[in-house]
Structure 1
Amino acid sequence: MSTRLSAGGADITIDRENGCRISSLRVDGTELLRQGPHFGSFPMVPWCGRTADGRFHDGAAVHRLPLNHPPHAIHGFGRDASWKPAGVSATRAAFVYDLTDPWPYAGRVTQVFELTEDALTLTMGVETYQDSFPAQAGWHPWFQRVLTPGGPEAQIAFDPAWQEERGEDHIPTGRRTAPKPGPWDDCFGMPEGVDVTLTWPGQLELKVTSRAEWVVVYDEQPEAVCVEPQSGPPNGLNSLPQLVTPVDPLEISSTWTWRRLP
């Protein structure tokens, strides 16, 4: 079942049964997201990117996750789950998803979408009423590289403080390097907050911002460009765990702002 929000010339379609992903984002009738059941823009929760070998430590306990991208576990379970509606209006919608097996902890994820004619704000929270646990959250949008047939390709502009060195297994080594030119499937640090601009010359400019300090940029496929704000780096359940506790939930938000170009 899908939910549609509209504001001015912008509208989004949310497919809550397919991971509560944004299956469509249109501005003045132009589709900005790559189409297909595995694309659009999906939430990454309760972890982001790859978790090495599908294992993470919580104190002395070692937990194993399904290897959905062998040899690693990738992008969490939220993108494959059916979410429940928790309030919908013309321009705002909220959904919830209860964490369950094979995630080893009980918890609840809330995702909120707020649309205006020139921006979309996404908010996600992970909370627990029982045991504390490490978690991550973020979004994985697939923006179309070309908006119209024969149109210009998207240009990426951002100024990260560092790039996470990536091992041959695609897991960060823990070493930070100066940012390198693309193409990328890499995580970058932006300690002042994520700020990445996509420009389709003569058509549209779209800015992805977040108070989060981490962003993965993926542009190795010809069809799309991904700009993924997230609460920690890949394999962060092990390298930079953020505990969700009964009094301290994990919260993250991101705003996409666009403007038409002459």
Structure 2
Amino acid sequence: MSNEDITLTAGDAEVTVTPGNGGRIGSLRIGDVELLRQGQKFGCFPMVPWCGRIRDGRFLDGATVQQMPLNAPPHAIHGTARDGAWRTARTGTSEAVITYDLLAPWPHPGRVTQLFTLTEDAFTVTMSVETYEDSFPAQIGWHPWFNRNLGQEDVQVDFTPAWQEERGEDHLPTGHRIEPKPSPWDDCFGMPDGVGVTLTWPGQLELKVASREEWVVVYDEQEAAVCVEPQTGPPNGLNTHPRLVTPIDPLEATMTWSWRRL
């Protein structure tokens, strides 16, 4: 199967998926407006088999300590799948499926699948991690870079988390939960009823980021973009909130972006 770019369309919405560039979403256009920051490292990339940073790149895997490469020294960040080439399993006008086989340095064989579905006013991505052999801890998440400005006013970010994970000097959660603080953020928040974050570009567009998961990282310290990242656990979660992938119980998560013009 090829890993050429895939274009999905529905109404005046168009999405580009780039299997060959880490299985990321390269573009989301509503009419003639591009919502995602452009560039090889941007768009929206999958975070799998972990999200955010792992402290010192080490995690406990049963009784074994595994060491991941320190690609954000002194930590390992955002998984391995965004650095690999995915394969297209099937594609149509408004739906596509791509897959990625977990490889070294990740210590366990497994398969990651992303299903993309576009309608006129929403885009849904479901990601799953399966194993046919060993059980292992994993996380799933997405890291979109939404353009801060679509040509007029800067975006407004609105959400009501139940708590904020206190962030230590090493950028990782300390284990304490605190009252949510105002922006700027590079922080993880808890939303036990499901992630719900509204991005509003005044006078232009409103976009809601939704997921049944209860963790979201919001990053708005960059001038060009704002990131709203639903995920199945907090940063360093392979150590603190491990979700086990087993042969009979894959890990699966879904994220939906829905929008309306203002």
Short-chain TM bin: over 0.9
Q: Mapping of 1:229-244 within 5 angstroms? A: 229-244=230-245
- Deviation by residue 1:11-67 (Cα, 9 ceiling, x = unmatched): 011111001111110001100000110000000000000000000001220000000
The aligned residue for residue 145 of structure 2 is 142
Q: Quote how far apart the aligned CAs of 1:100 are.
A: 1.1
Runs of 4 or more above 6 Å deviation? none
Q: Mapping of 1:58-77 within 5 angstroms? A: 58-77=61-80
Q: Mapping of 1:130-209 within 5 angstroms? A: 130-148=133-151, 151-209=152-210
Q: Quote how far apart the aligned CAs of 1:225 are.
A: 0.4
- Name structure 1 gaps, 5 residues minimum: none
> TM-score normalized by structure 1?
0.98
The aligned residue for residue 223 of structure 1 is 224
Identify the match of residue 45 of structure 1 among 15, 23, 48: 48
The aligned residue for residue 31 of structure 1 is 34
The number of residues matched between the two structures is: 259
Q: Return the alpha-carbon distance in structure 2 between the equivalents of residues 59 and 88 of structure 1.
A: 38
The aligned residue for residue 3 of structure 1 is 6
Structure 1 vs Structure 2 CA RMSD: 0.5
Identify the match of residue 55 of structure 1 among 54, 58, 69: 58
Q: Secondary structure at the match of 1:53?
A: helix
- Deviation by residue 1:75-124 (Cα, 9 ceiling, x = unmatched): 00111110011110000000000001100001000001000010000000
Read off the aligned partner of 1:128 and give its amino acid letter: T
Give yes or no for the alignment of 1:17 onto 2:20: yes
The aligned residue for residue 114 of structure 2 is 111
Q: Return the alpha-carbon distance in structure 2 between the equivalents of residues 100 and 90 of structure 1.
A: 31
Q: Return the alpha-carbon distance in structure 1 between the equivalents of residues 26 and 132 of structure 2.
A: 31
Q: Secondary structure at the match of 1:202?
A: coil
Identify the match of residue 128 of structure 1 among 131, 135, 139: 131
Q: Return the alpha-carbon distance in structure 1 between the equivalents of residues 115 and 62 of structure 2.
A: 32
Read off the aligned partner of 2:216 and give its amino acid letter: V
Read off the aligned partner of 1:161 and give its amino acid letter: A
The aligned residue for residue 91 of structure 1 is 94
- Deviation by residue 1:102-160 (Cα, 9 ceiling, x = unmatched): 00001000001000010000000000010000000010000000012xx1000000000
Read off the aligned partner of 1:160 and give its amino acid letter: P
> TM-score normalized by structure 2?
0.98
Read off the aligned partner of 1:89 and give its amino acid letter: G
Q: Secondary structure at the match of 1:17?
A: helix
